Structure 1
């Protein structure tokens, strides 16, 4: 990646001491401090003791990387001559198809002064010193690196030969190439200039965007001199120069484009997979992983030149901002995703603090990119990345040791690759290790393998979660089936109990009905048996009255009282007979059109005979005197008598003997209201009092069965009316029968 942390490489080449001859040159040796080295050795030793298994894997990977670096960086023993100005000349063999390494033919001068021009360099050839290989790796500096070499054809070749000059990486800010035929006393005007850096407008002479490619034609009998100036403003300076035959360049370009297309396609597929995972499993670490994949893809979109081709053809700082900002953003997104996937906040809160710091540093790094101070702040990126990846390695290794399953094994492989790729990339970018430029690109391979393995781990995790969910569903289904079976058994048992209870209730109901029928028959017999003798007594009393002299007032008064007693006794018998009939379930009312006044007067007359010592005030409104209702006079009259009896009975304990009966008409209804000043019904539920056989809490000292109010309710319901019972604020009760008036 372009803007990762770095520093000066300790030794660019063995002859570096002869390179610095003026103030414009800078020394390349940069020894580390002894204290820092001792701390580093101590940290590495502790880590080795704690993570031996993981380090064996890392050691194998490091050995493979070093082996590949040795194979690809070895110098090719080509024939070399030397021009008059000291430039070593490389002869291009005829029919060469492969890459032509420039190892042993390159000279380099490192200059701090960015104003030094090609003319100045031509006049100070002593600034150059030979380079052992073909890679320059200076880390994060603003030094200008001047490279020179010369090309020629063997004497036996008589035709011009084309060769392709490749300069990598693609994201060098200022990369100027000068090509000219070797002459004595050459000046800058003898060279053709090609500006190829990503700060310059893209030139069509550069036929590639993934590398700085320049075609050069070598003339027979001529020596072609090439000078290259490379400089970075705020990024690591890495330059690798090599020659390619045109046919080999085409072949390699096809292979590279296929690989890069597969890489971006693979990253796109991994990105889509995360979206699918997020859809089915709403975990926030999928979002963080999506951001991490986007950041890595965006980094390589810039470092491979695709962003410059698509968006920044005119040069400028756009490609720098995109690549550097993506790298820092990737640090934050990577720390977020790793912490979330490994559940560090809950499992290892102290380790999670390091990841929170990394997230914060990544955010600051994005700001530093835009402020142009990335090369200073980037020094903290390498240690931060190494710290969090090593901690992640320790956590996944511990998880795998405790539970060696597929998920933890994939996690261990994923983070091992990530750790190895970051070590190689940062080692090359920092200039700490003498690694070729292509090693920095190895992180692209390790990153996609890391995301692939991590996606596999998440897939296993999601599968395990689904398996656990299905298992839980099966257990829940079994439990539900068992509960259903228990419920069915309980239903059967309760049904049987209900059937038994129903049989008992029906038996009790039949017994009650028989009892009620016997009660009614008894009252009918009593009434019939008493009426005959009472009628005989009344007749004899009338006969005796006729025989008495008109002036015998005392005896006549005795006869009147006896006759009144007989009438009261007959009335009592009739009222109780009617009550016994109404309490039976088979009683059917007989409706007829009747005046309300007649029903009320009849009830009041009977009540006065039944209630001794009561003062009854009757108020009949003028509108109610002619009001007619569809009612059973006997049943409705008995309901009024019950209310009058209750009013007097519950007033006596309070010392009151006055009961009020008011009849009025309102909105097509007649209201028959009985009021008293008795014990009242405060704190009682009206519905409970109206229920059959339910008495008030304050009536335990008053005799009664509690059936009176329920009888009144049954009567008003049978007459399509309503019964209202309420307490009075000044004490007592108000009971109202409301009936519809006939039109």
Structure 2
């Protein structure tokens, strides 16, 4: 009994401490409040904790208090942060949670109200998914930043959990902002970061054009570096969300990798080309090769399990890069080389601007406005100075080119001779390749013609024997008619394939008016003959129902849907079988096919209509999972719509809508 009493007291103390964790209210006069001063942190080394585990850890006091942002450098672990939001007065402006930085791969947000002062359990939380590795459509507000509107349970204290998992630098900041502050921050972000990207792209284009015009390698390398810098910055700051809103979650990791690994490899290559390190500074040359290889390693491991280690190695190896480049620029300036002074000034600016972000990425310095934006400010001045320095080198190169014009002409003649020899050899190889291709086409044509002859012969025999059976009356005439029609259709398909091979003819898939009512009656009659054991009812609004479609495609759609309904229907004494309804409205024709099933699949409609996907009630029925996929493709080709009707879980219903002459609403 004393032990139970002691345990109860300890649990009460822990619960009291959890229930009274610091809330993060936003005062009426404030427009922004940093949450990082009022939160708690929990490490998830294996990334396996669920919201239930996190809620239990919160109630048992396993979270540790943190003051300031989370900055873990590169890590494979996941992080959980927890805090409370105080009730919001009714007249308070609308509030949002702003989660930064935007390049975090996966951010899971969980919010639940605190009831009677007790922390909620895992089942009470509402989950929201964010992060640049997830589609932008999943966000409540598809902005360039990670923004979550706070609209529920504003009159109560709310418990908030945030789970972060990323392959990039593991830095987390959360702020509570008003709508006015959010709009200002978003506009300023787009203006500042979008302007930086635009300037980098413009300078990249200028340098590339100059490189093409003047045939200067360093200009091309620097143009490629600026392009990689702009692409990476667009991914890091969410600018890509504005350009590729539907595919940015697949591209953003590559954008960031191009901006990190690609830019480091290119800048190392640029320094080697600028200062001729292979002849003058061998030690620096070998170091720059290592940096370039590390940058390429980070680029090729994008999205893989080794990316974090590759990126962390890249940043560790590249930390002395700005100092090495500054030393080489100083040596170039001392040697009196063209633009040596400008290069020295440019790399001095880069040294100041790059040191702080490097130390922030490695987790040595905290995340603040200086460490977040020093690289961008220094990069802006660095781009201008480097463009000026490269222009000076171009002018000097033009002067030397004038003095070496005669030698260049001789080399051009020699090069033209070599290129002519290679071109003649290439033409000979091309002629041989074309001759081999012509022979292969002849062999292919002979094979198809032989196959058509061998295939048509047994079809003709089958057709003849069916005529004999029909005359003797051994088999029902209805079934024979269907069999004959199927054989004629098979023969027609093969003739189409043969014409396609010989004359380049393709099947006619253009949409035109089709009598849907008549086609339904014919296919229902054929179905009843082939499957007399399966009840089938047809209901139409009138005798003639016309729609814009394709006869061949519509037959494919109806055959697959009727066959699926037959295979997966419930077989019971009171089974109504398959019900087919066709109605015509002002501008469209609707076809519904429904049947009873034991249990409708839990998979979403889009998944069921994907290729090679079968429903959960197929039992022992054979199939490839292509039926609904072919149906959807055919309906879309006829400019129609198809969907699965929600409702009774024991009924599977497919609804098709085709245009009746005017656009479908």
Secondary structure of the corresponding residue to residue 94 of structure 2: strand
> Within the alignment, does 1:167 sit opposite 2:99 as a pair?
yes
Matches within 5 A, 1:295-694: 295-308=228-241, 310-311=243-244, 313=246, 318-369=251-302, 371-401=304-334, 403=336, 407-436=339-368, 439-465=371-397
**TM-score (structure 2 length as normaliser):** 0.53
> Within the alignment, does 1:181 sit opposite 2:79 as a pair?
no
More displaced stretch, 205-214 vs 120-129: 205-214
> Within the alignment, does 1:210 sit opposite 2:144 as a pair?
yes
Aligned partner of 2:79 in structure 1 is 145
Aligned partner of 2:125 in structure 1 is 191
Aligned partner of 1:132 in structure 2 is 67
Deviations 1:492-519 (A, max 9, x none): xxxxxxxxxxxxxxxxxxxxxxxxxxxx
> Within the alignment, does 1:223 sit opposite 2:167 as a pair?
no
Contact 1:149 1:227 in 2 (8 A): yes
Contact 1:168 1:437 in 2 (8 A): no
- What is the Cα deviation at residue 267 of structure 1? 0.8
Contact 2:211 2:219 in 1 (8 A): yes
Deviations 1:456-501 (A, max 9, x none): 111233345557779999xxxxxxxxxxxxxxxxxxxxxxxxxxxx
**Aligned counterpart for 1:252 among listed residues 185, 188, 205:** 185
In structure 2, C-alpha distance between the alignment counterparts of 1:470 and 1:343, rounded to whole Å:
22
Deviations 1:95-137 (A, max 9, x none): 433x21224311111122422111221122112111111x111
- What is the Cα deviation at residue 84 of structure 1? 5.8
Deviations 1:166-195 (A, max 9, x none): 111112111011122222251233322110
- What is the Cα deviation at residue 299 of structure 1? 1.1
In structure 2, C-alpha distance between the alignment counterparts of 1:143 and 1:214, rounded to whole Å:
24
Contact 1:169 1:437 in 2 (8 A): no
- What is the Cα deviation at residue 239 of structure 1? 0.9
Secondary structure of the corresponding residue to residue 90 of structure 1: coil
- What is the Cα deviation at residue 415 of structure 1? 1.0
In structure 1, C-alpha distance between the alignment counterparts of 2:162 and 2:98, rounded to whole Å:
12
**TM-score (structure 1 length as normaliser):** 0.48
Contact 2:130 2:138 in 1 (8 A): no
Do the aligned partners of residues 121 and 220 (structure 1) sit closer, same or farther apart at CA in structure 2, a change above 3 Å counting?
A: closer
Contact 2:193 2:239 in 1 (8 A): no
Contact 2:132 2:248 in 1 (8 A): yes
Aligned partner of 1:534 in structure 2 is none
In structure 2, C-alpha distance between the alignment counterparts of 1:309 and 1:158, rounded to whole Å:
34
Deviations 1:59-111 (A, max 9, x none): xxxxxxxxxxxxxxxxxxxxxxx9862421122212433x2122431111112
| Aligned-residue RMSD, C-alpha | 2.9
- What is the Cα deviation at residue 378 of structure 1? 2.8
Do the aligned partners of residues 356 and 138 (structure 1) sit closer, same or farther apart at CA in structure 2, a change above 3 Å counting?
A: same
Contact 2:275 2:332 in 1 (8 A): no
Do the aligned partners of residues 261 and 235 (structure 1) sit closer, same or farther apart at CA in structure 2, a change above 3 Å counting?
A: closer
- What is the Cα deviation at residue 160 of structure 1? 5.1
Do the aligned partners of residues 223 and 459 (structure 1) sit closer, same or farther apart at CA in structure 2, a change above 3 Å counting?
A: same
Secondary structure of the corresponding residue to residue 197 of structure 2: helix
In structure 2, C-alpha distance between the alignment counterparts of 1:334 and 1:220, rounded to whole Å:
51
Deviations 1:319-365 (A, max 9, x none): 22332244212222111112112232343234222222322332333
Aligned partner of 1:96 in structure 2 is 30
Q: Structure 1: give runs of 5+ residues left out of the alignment.
A: 1-81, 474-743
> Within the alignment, does 1:122 sit opposite 2:40 as a pair?
no
**Structure showing greater Rg:** 1
Do the aligned partners of residues 116 and 441 (structure 1) sit closer, same or farther apart at CA in structure 2, a change above 3 Å counting?
A: same
Do the aligned partners of residues 145 and 437 (structure 1) sit closer, same or farther apart at CA in structure 2, a change above 3 Å counting?
A: farther
Higher relative contact order (CA 8 A, sep 6+): 1
Q: Structure 2: give runs of 5+ residues left out of the alignment.
A: 1-15, 406-665
In structure 1, C-alpha distance between the alignment counterparts of 2:265 and 2:351, rounded to whole Å:
16
- What is the Cα deviation at residue 389 of structure 1? 2.4
Matches within 5 A, 1:103-118: 103-118=36-51
Secondary structure of the corresponding residue to residue 88 of structure 1: coil
Do the aligned partners of residues 353 and 142 (structure 1) sit closer, same or farther apart at CA in structure 2, a change above 3 Å counting?
A: closer
- What is the Cα deviation at residue 274 of structure 1? 0.5
Aligned length: 386
- What is the Cα deviation at residue 210 of structure 1? 3.0
In structure 1, C-alpha distance between the alignment counterparts of 2:230 and 2:90, rounded to whole Å:
48
- Deviation beyond 6 Å, 4+ runs, structure 1: 467-473
